[in-house]
Structure 1
Amino acid sequence: MVRDRMHAVEQAIGTLLRDAYGIEAALAPLPGEHDLNLRLRATDGSDYLLKLHAAGDDVELDMQMAVLDYLQSNAPELPLSRAIRTRQGAVSIPAEIDGPRTARLLTWLPGTIWAKSTVRGRHSAEALGRLLGQLDWHLQGFTHAGARRIYGWDIGRADMHLTHVAMIGDAHKRASVHTILSHFTDNVLPRLQACPRQVIHNDANDYNVLLDEAGNVSGLLDFGDMVETFRVVEIAVAAAYALIGERDAVGTIAAVTGAYHDVNPLSETEAEMVFDLVRTRYAVSMCMAAKQIRDNPDNTYLLVSQEDVWRELQRLETENRSIAVARIRDACGFAAIPSAAGVVKWLERNAHDFVPIVRPSAERPEVAVLDFSVAGGNCWAGLAPDAAEARIDAILAKEHADFAIGLYGENRAIYQGDAFETGTEGARRSVHLGIDIFVPAGEPVYAPFAGTVAFIHDDAVAFGFGPTVLLQHDTDDGTVFWTLYGHLAREGVARLSVGQPIAKGEAFAEFGAASENGQWAPHLHFQIVTDHLGLGGRMHGVGVRDQWQVWRDVSPDPSVVLGLPVPASVIVARDKDFLVRERHRRTGRSLSIAYSAAPLKIVGGEGAWLIEEDGTRWLDMVNNVCHVGHCHPRVVAAAQTQIGHLNTNSRYLHDSLVEYARRLTAQFPDPLNVCFFVNSGSEANDLAIRLARAYTGNRDIITIDHAYHGHLSSLIDVSPYKFAGPGGEGQPAHVRVAEMPDLYRGRFRYGDAEAGNRYADSVKDQIEALAAHGRRPALFFSEGILGTGGQLPLPDNYLNQAFAFVREAGGLCLSDEVQVGFGRVGRHMWAHELQGVVPDIVTMGKPIGNGHPMAAVVTTEAIAASFANGMEYFNTFGGNPVSAEIGLAVLDVIRDERLTHHCRVIGDRLMDGARALAERHGLIGDVRGSGLFNGIELVRSRETLEPAAAELERLIAGMKSRHRILLSSEGPHHNVLKIKPPAPFSAEDCDRFLNALDEELTLIAKGG
């Protein structure tokens, strides 16, 4: 009977498809609560979704069709099913298939449903949050009568389910659901009333969300649960399903919420309610299931997710709600604990008036810091109790100190061999939230400022720790916070009572002995607490490393209270995902990150190599900043030595400043013998413009197309790479742009003996254009080799002729050596020397300090004198003693290690090797450069010179992932492999690069 019924249904569907849509297709049934859903595979290979809606609410069905039509017009980029119209143009038609129904045919969305995907993860949760944020952003303008229904699955109306709780048979489940719904009614709903309302999808469950093979969201299905409700409900529904089976439930909720907020900003109130609303969704689901199963016991679809719901609800009930809310707030960019910043400011503002918690003696006033890594991981780890105490005593005696401290933020991962854990996600609580002060047992503990005893707790039974006391305090504006004192002596604590006032400076407790503190060496754990998380005296003393930004708000650095003369906190290392997020949040998204798809966390450097946090070594072929090698010992020593003596501004006389100016100008011919010291190449080029305008009385600048000279406003104006690129405002009126002298793909090419003169004519053209308006140039900007232009060496005689034109018109000529100076070009100290010219102004930066922020402008006495017009010039940090000593060390290393010659030899080896590869690899169109400033241009055709930008992108990725070689692209078409490694780049490094380049080009040629 059932088989006959199904056969009849299939026949009816086949007839419908042929008659209405002209489609022959194989059918595959899909799950559904009310409707018949089928996947169709048409004979032409196309896939479709057929929905056969049961007879019922026509308004609701019209809403589903209307919203897809609305989104097709307003958000066509979203991965949603789109309506396929019938031959007559209808989006739905009546059909008699297993009863009266309405048929709709939709485009098929590829992917695996979330519940069945094996590749989902945090990135999937973030992708889902972004998609829903975009969807709801567009749905703000959508209205429909069908969405204004009173709907059981609208958790914004969860209070109406209190009457259904009795239908839940299990007493434990019934009690949990009643508690959640009561909390919603009394605490959540009143706050929701002030939140935005709109139409939402309302059902991004794990069977309605599709993921691709990488775990990214590829589709969102089924708008049948749409409702007009509070916007934040959308997030709660999605998060309730996204967290199923995930290790870190709250982290998943935070990921969905934070990603939604990134594209559709939430209020703080909305963010704070997500956790409660997720719990409410589970409670509603259990009520709805109980009611529906009672009414329809044979519909097994209703039971699909109930086991997951109860398991996940139990898991959420074990989470600390305060931490969960703080993590979600943090994911949205809000302060994890809203009061934390105010508490810290109050502490900093009043710190001068605090009294010491421990009072050192007059004879030994110093403080020694105990390095726990030296002491065996922790002061007690790996040592017997008496040995740990003896170790501390020995340190105190050696340092002639009264006490030692354990640091805030340090690793405390081990306690008696077990991990501290929090919640049910198994996250290890391993980061110290306080500062430990080690002194002999029995020493008094003094209150740093007035307070009241708020909590007293004794861990004797659970862990054998001594008592903990929390004092409560109030800031000027009435904000409450606490100070925590752990591992105290029981006898002293026994005299305290909750509510007891404690005066500033009062000795209210004593250090506990090892015998009453789990055999730990006697010490006080001191901690600031802005939110005791409902734990009171059981407040945690260690936090979760991956959540450090939240725990740091819960318990800020207590150094502000102690005022110690030594560092008492450390920076907690974080993973790459967190650092990327924080960079975007704290430093702006315009600050680029290298290899953004898989960024590197670099913690060290040596020579031509960078070292990642896990010890991986990367051959650095793009860093011309650390010119004489990463962390060159002579440069490091020069900085350390001088900063130990003096660092101040250049208003005071200092030998190093004068000596460095002498040594630097000695690298140039007369009359270039005056230095101005600044802090960056951008500052140097900005100052050069001021010098030129002061000397010439002119204002106009001539620059070369696609050039980049710095990030200041004045330099953006003379950098076509910026003003003509994305976000640029176009060419300023005072700037003229000369043609880029490109011998590979420009108008005049290799072999043209007059190319230099012909390209220089473009400079002359700009001068004549200025003259036509009665203006003359102040300055002509050029590099000895064009960097952003594509690592382009200049044609012979180009600068000589261009300089002549500019000077004849009354302008000055500048050589920008910020990228290419200090011997990098191999044959000379400066790239402009390759052209045999002497500029009027030379600017330097990047390699000048081997990574230290310094730069310089060198010019003539006459130009410098014109700048001394009564307006004082001063640069606070330019030419400071430390910078001068570093600059001297860099010059010494270049000289003593013969780096200019080395750059020439290795650069020739590299370019000869690359040209040999070009004989086998047609992608290599041009190899160019000088010394270790090189470009390899990739083209798809040597005849048409079609840029091979996509191939270069794959090449750079392959060199990184398979060979651990770091490279980047350059040029107007992004098809030039940019090579500018630290100067110590060796012959072995060069051969490693060439072999890897050969392998990658071979793979690309094979389609790999």
Structure 2
Amino acid sequence: MTDANRQHGGEIEAIDALLRNSYGISGRIIALPGEHDLNYCIEAEDGTRFLLKLHAPGDADDLAMQVAVLDHLALAAPKLPISRALPDKSGSTAITAELRGQRTARLLTWLTGSVWSKSPVRGRQSIVTLGRLLGEMDRSLESFSHPGAKRSYAWDIGRADMHLENLVFIADAGKQAVVRAVLDRFVHEVLPRLRQCPRQVIHNDANDYNVLLDEAGGVSGLLDFGDMVETWRVIEIAVAGAYALIGADDPVDAIARLAGAYHTVNPISDIEAELIFDLTCTRYAVSMCMAAKQIRDNPENTYLLVSQEDVWRELQRLQRENRSLAVARIRDACGFEPIPHSARIERWLERNAHDFAGVLKPSLTKPKVLALDLTATGPDAGAWATLDAAGAERLIEERVGQAGADFAIGLYAEDRIVYKGDAYETPTAGQRRTVHLGIDLFAPAREPVHAPFAGAVAFIHDDAVDFGFGPTVLLEHRTEEGDIFWTLYGHLSRQSVARLVVGQAVARGEAFCTLGEASENGNWSPHLHFQIVTDHLGLRARMHGVGVGEQWQVWRAISPDPSVVFGFSTPASVIVARDKDFLVRERHRRIGRSLSIAYSATPLKIVGGEGAHLIDEAGTRWLDMVNNVCHVGHCHPRVVKAAQAQIAKLNTNSRYLHDSLVEYSRRLANLLPDPLNVCFFVNSGSEANDLAIRLARAYTGNRDIITVDHAYHGHLSSLIDVSPYKFAGKGGEGRPRHVRVAEMPDLYRGRFRYGDADAGRKYADDVRDQVAALAVEGRRPALFFSEGILGTGGQLTLPDNYLREAYAHVRAAGGLCLADEVQVGFGRVGSHMWAHELQGVVPDIVTMGKPIGNGHPMAAVVTTEAIAAAFANGMEYFNTFGGNPVSAEIGLAVLDVIRDERLMHHCRVVGDRLMDGVHALASRHEIIGDVRGHGLFNGVELVRDRETLEPAAAELDFVIAEMKRKHHILLSSEGPHHNVLKVKPPAPFSAEDCDRFLDGLDETLSRLPPR
């Protein structure tokens, strides 16, 4: 045995003794790499892993800080994926050990995962989860302080100025010049603003070897707290960003995503957001200075030379970025306006638009324009792309003349159509700039161009050398608030531009130049490219005329919609389609977060619909089995045509006489028995139920409401009060005093179950008890709420005679009874037009919504003449949009489709097929506990045990996710235990759709993971 082997064996024995004596564990000991410390993976006998660190003698304050910070985070952020220090038998987390001298031993929990630099799955998700982890950690460290963190540390880029003296060690003159420029900018531009930012202790070293990733690419651990320092908080993001961007196609996107994720959990200021890009560059500059000094001291260290090539490559990439654009993108990712003053400029333009002069033909108060549709699918695109300049000019003149227009504007989202496939590239990672930022006005050459408002010539540039597009001029303008912006004019005449000088004042309406000939503008038909510019990005008159679609919100802030300057009757801007990540982010930013997103883990971007199918942006068709709103099918042609025809004629409120409203009220009332023959029209089911409460109170003089447990009747305050699903759930305030809750008549898991012929009466007895409880307090019910099938209750069908008995109890006490048909009406139950008819009752009030307009916002309340008369007490009832002509025509079209396509019968036939199919599946899959419903309103309740009825909520989540992922079928859950598969597709749901669902459900249930 060699001396080295003996030493190694002796060390392992010493470590084993240390573990046994101090921690009471033993196991396999595996040496790990370490520059100064000795590190070991300990595999205990029970399979648990630990990290043993034997710290080299050194700075006691530094080691004490590492011990203290883990102790702090163990209390402040116990769920963070960082190592936790384990105490020895005496309770200490740092003990003395003898191994190659005296060392400090610490036993830490083991973190699983692969290091960032070697993980094949790192990507956007990795960056986002890292940003969140760092944000959460730094938020937890705000209250942490330690003497060891107050050191003057060379790797603190907040002290980057100290490295100016190390520049001489960078031998390459070109590299030295770049690093010097970065450090000079840090000293003169960054540091003064950095001093306005918050300071605290940060990790300071989230490099690609200190971050662990799991198999899905999410961050699973953060290692090594040895570089911690008290400095400016934002440096945490910059250091991490310097490593996260390595290998990324778009380095600024990587930095922005990291910063945005950090900001969501630990908000930063707009100053911090603006400094991140420069600080990331500074990190690279500091790294190069540090390495140069180390290489001078240790010239044999070839590793430093190799690693610095990576650093230099990434710094060069960042230096090629447009700094202003990069800052705007990072600001946007953090929720700040990309260009801080852009919104104020847009407001100034809106406020003063009435006083603008015309850019072309200002003598015309309202010029008539011809819109040329040059989009990829537009009628003018093909001809335009095949014509030469003269032919294009003749085509435009011909079209303008035929239309009697004064000039033409070009409509297109992508310049590649106009420029014959030759889309530009930005300096940003080669991304295509394809989305037009301005408006193109086509007019004859030498047409005078006028200033819409006063300004001065700021920049002049001739594109002849670069693109051959002729001269461009930027006029500078200043608002009353002191904001500066520019208007850009492209494709001008060289002769006219030659008369301009920078600084020259231009008055409102002044003709300061003319349009160029095709020959001096790349042989394009003469036209003016007009653009508003809030930040010229240092490009001045070479400002881009097209932007990157993936960054559209940033480019739109740089160049707001110029339509405001012209006031054209034809829209000249587009909504640029964005990816799902962006849409989710913007929804969270701009729309209340309480508005949930379906399938939030993998949301869908739906752009079309047809029949029982939804269509996403990739053209994938999804079988929609939850959308009972589009009752007669998504985008039914007959309904669409009715809406288009009426909205082209008239849409006004219902105070005016209109045939459609009267006809619709007659048709709707005829679907209900007497005495239900008076209609009120509103905009939503919530409004309908709210109005029903008012009607009942006016008629009865009572105020109290009886509702069924776990019911949901709408989102208005009055309806949250009568919806136990809401007031008894998360965020609810409990049952209001004026509301009584009746027992939910659940034949599957309630007190009275299938086979009890008297279950309906027994459940209705609880309604009687609620009436009696009111009577004890000297009160009587105004209204009893119930659906014909209980939706949020779990698609529960009511036991026979339940409503008949319940209605009798309520009416005996002077109350009214309401049938909520918002979800189940209009023939969905198959055997009847209304679900309450299944119970053989006639309500006093019926409310309708959702399917009534096939997605159009309309709803109705139908009641008796007596109740309506009691409501006419002198206070006018008026609803601006309820019953408007467009809604009435849509409502009529829906009734026509239900009748002419025999949809009620269709719902019964296909519903029976579906129920029979699921019953058959239940014989093979024990997890199916109950199958219930009528027509195409069904529930499939999943249970883990048919005897105990233990809800199988997690299994249902799996079913819904897999039916979406593998079979492209959209489903949802319902019920108090979230274990009921909800089925309520559009009525055109076919027999083939049904069989597809059954096959998919069978296959998915066969793959349920074991519990």
TM-score range, shorter chain: over 0.9
**Counterpart for residue 892 of structure 2:** 888
Within the candidate set 431, 438, 441, 1:437 is matched to 441
Shift of 1:365: 4.5
What secondary structure, in the 3-state scheme, does the structure 2 residue paired with 1:940 have? strand
Equivalent position SS for 1:677: strand
Distance 2:359 2:853 in 1: 45
Match 2:427 to one of 413, 423, 428: 423
Which letter maps to 1:391?
A: L
Matched, 1:202 2:204: yes
**1:571 and 2:575 matched:** yes
Cα separation, 1, equivalents of 2:387 and 2:14: 80
Q: Which residue of 1 aligns with 2:406?
A: 402
Amino acid across the alignment from 1:154: D
In the TM superposition, residue 299 of structure 1 has moved relative to its aligned partner by 5.7
Q: Please, which runs of 5 or more residues in structure 1 have no aligned partner?
A: none
Contact 2:385 2:417 in 1 (8 A): no
Q: Quote the residue 1:84 is aligned against.
A: 86
What per-residue deviation string (whole Å, max 9, x for no partner) do you get for residues 627-656 of structure 1?
011111111111111101110111111111
Determine what percentage of the aligned residue pairs are the same residue.
74
Equivalent AA in structure 1 for residue 953 of structure 2: A
Q: Once the two structures are superposed, what CA deviation does each residue of 1:760-782 show, in whole Å capped at 9, x if it has no partner?
A: 01111111111111111111110
For 1:236, the aligned partner's letter is A
Question: In the TM superposition, what whole-angstrom CA distance separates every residue of 1:28-62 from its partner, at most 9, and x where no partner exists?
Answer: 44444432333233343222112221111111101
| Alignment partner, residue 238 of structure 1 | 240
1:875-913 CA-partner distances (Å, limit 9, x unpaired): 111111100111111111111111111111111111011
The alignment's TM-score, normalised by the length of structure 2, stands at 0.97
Question: Which residue of structure 2 aligns with residue 321 of structure 1?
Answer: 323
Say which of 957, 961, 965 aligns to 1:953. 957
Equivalent of 2:69 in 50, 67, 70: 67
Partner of 2:188: 186
Measure the CA separation in 2 of the matches of 1:572 and 1:317.
29
Conserved 8 A contact 1:32-1:301: no
Aligned equivalents of 1:537 and 1:32: distance in 2? Answer: 55
1:902 to 888, 894, 906: 906
Quick check: 1:531 aligned with 2:535?
Answer: yes
Counterpart of 1:331 in structure 2 is 333
Q: Distance in 2 between matches of 1:6 and 1:539?
A: 66
Corresponding residue number in structure 1 for 2:787: 783
Give yes or no for the alignment of 1:653 onto 2:670: no
Distance across 1 between alignment mates of 2:971 and 2:963 = 8
Q: 1:384 to 1:660 in 2, by over 3 A?
A: same
Which secondary structure state, in structure 1, belongs to the residue aligned with residue 577 of structure 2?
Answer: coil
Structure 1 residue identity aligned to 2:397: D
What is the one-letter code of the residue matched to 1:876?
T
Match for 1:581: what amino acid? R
Structure 1 position 726, deviation (Å): 1.2
Give CA deviations for 1:403-445 in whole Å, capped at 9, x if unaligned.
Answer: 2212374454774544412224121111000011111211111
Label 1:385 to 1:11 Cα distance change in 2 as closer, same or farther (>3 A).
farther
Distance 1:499 1:361, change over 3 A: closer
Distance 2:715 2:338 in 1: 34
CA distance in 2: counterparts of 1:396 and 1:4, whole angstroms: 95
Are the aligned partners of 1:407 and 1:432 in contact in 2 as well (CA < 8 Å)? no
SS in 1 for 2:80: coil
Spell out the pairing of 1:843-922 with structure 2 (5 A cutoff).
843-922=847-926
Q: Deviations over 1:501-548 (max 9, x none)?
A: 111111111111111111112111100000000000110001010100
The structural deviation recorded for 1:353 is: 0.7
Secondary structure of the 1:370 match is strand
Q: Mark the CA change 1:695 to 1:303 in structure 2 (over 3 Å): closer, same or farther.
A: farther
Note closer, same or farther for the CA distance 1:378–1:208 as it changes in structure 2 (3 Å cut): farther
CA–CA distance in structure 2, aligned partners of residues 2 and 445 of structure 1: 86
What is the number of equivalent residue pairs in this alignment?
1007
1:42 aligns with 2:44: yes
1:609 is the counterpart of 2:649? no
Matched position secondary structure for 1:627: coil
Match of 1:175 in 2: 177
State the partner residue of 1:157. Answer: 159
SS of the residue aligned with 2:347?
helix
Matched with 2:806 is 802
Deviation at 1:868? 1.6
1:75 to partner: Cα distance = 1.0
Between the aligned partners of 1:890 and 1:469, the Cα distance in structure 2 is 56
**Matching residue within 675, 689, 693 for 2:693:** 689
Q: Which aligned pairs between 1:327-366 and structure 2 lie closer than 5 A?
A: 327-359=329-361, 365-366=367-368
Q: Are the equivalent residues in 2 in contact too, given 1:410–1:572 (CA < 8 A)?
A: no
Corresponding residue of 2:587: 583
- 776-785 vs 357-366, which moves further: 357-366
Instruction: Give the superposition deviation at 1:971.
Output: 0.7
C-alpha distance in 2, partners of 1:313/1:674? 74
Q: Which amino acid aligns with 2:222?
A: L
Aligned partner of residue 672 in structure 1, secondary structure: coil
Q: In the alignment, what sits opposite 2:453?
A: 449
Hey, what does 1:991 align to over in structure 2?
995
Q: Is the 1:757–1:798 Cα contact (8 Å) retained in structure 2? A: yes
Aligned to 1:728: 732
- Counterpart residue type for residue 832 of structure 2: H
**Aligned Cα root-mean-square deviation (Å):** 1.9
Secondary structure of 1:90's match?
coil
Measured in 2, the distance between the counterparts of 1:94 and 1:202 equals 27
| Equivalent residue, structure 2, for 1:458 | 462
2:121 matched to 1:119?
A: yes
TM-score, normalised with respect to structure 1: 0.97
Deviations 1:185-221 (A, max 9, x none): 1111111111111111111111111110001010111
Give the distance between the partners of 2:103 and 2:299, measured in 1 at CA.
23
- Which whole-Å CA distance do the structure 1 matches of 2:157 and 2:753 have between them? 70
Task: Classify the secondary structure of the residue corresponding to 1:872.
Answer: coil
Q: Is the counterpart of residue 974 in structure 1 residue 978 in structure 2?
A: yes
Asked if the contact 1:408–1:557 (Cα under 8 Å) also holds between the matched residues in 2, the reply is: no
Q: CA deviation at 1:306?
A: 2.3
Which amino acid is the alignment partner of residue 507 of structure 1?
A: A
What CA distance in whole angstroms lies between the structure 2 residues aligned with 1:421 and 1:40? 53
Q: What amino acid is the match of 2:349?
A: L
Q: Deviations over 1:1-39 (max 9, x none)?
A: 766665554454344334333444444444444323332
Note the alpha carbon deviations across 1:683-718, whole angstroms, 9 max, x for none: 111111111111111111111111000111111111
- Match for 2:185: what amino acid? H
- The match for 2:110 is 108
* Contact 2:458–2:476, Cα closer than 8 Å, also in 1: yes
SS at match of 1:603: strand
2:503 aligns with: 499
Moved more, 550-559 or 232-241: 232-241
Task: Show the counterpart of 1:621.
Answer: 625
Q: Paired residue for 1:595? A: 599
Which letter maps to 2:146?
H
Q: 1:317 to 1:6 in 2, by over 3 A?
A: farther
Q: Determine the C-alpha separation between the residues in 1 that align with 2:597 and 2:9.
A: 59
* 1:514-525 to 2 correspondences below 5 Å: 514-525=518-529
Shift in Å at residue 671 of structure 1? Answer: 1.2
CA contact (8 A) 1:785 1:791 kept: yes
- Larger CA deviation: 66-75 vs 527-536: 66-75
Question: Residue 760 of structure 1 corresponds to which residue in structure 2?
Answer: 764
> Is residue 211 from structure 1 mapped to residue 213 from structure 2 by the alignment?
yes
Q: 2: distance between equivalents of 1:17 and 1:423?
A: 57
Q: How many Å separate the matches in 2 of 1:58 and 1:123?
A: 38
Contact 1:361-1:402 within 8 A present in 2 as well: no
Offset, 1:182? 1.1
Which deviates more from structure 2 when the two are superposed, residues 214-223 or residues 7-16? 7-16
The partner residue of 1:385 within 375, 382, 389 is: 389
Where do residues 668-707 of structure 1 align in structure 2 (5 Å cutoff)? 668-707=672-711
Q: CA deviation at 1:156?
A: 1.4
Q: 1:509 aligns with which of 494, 510, 513?
A: 513
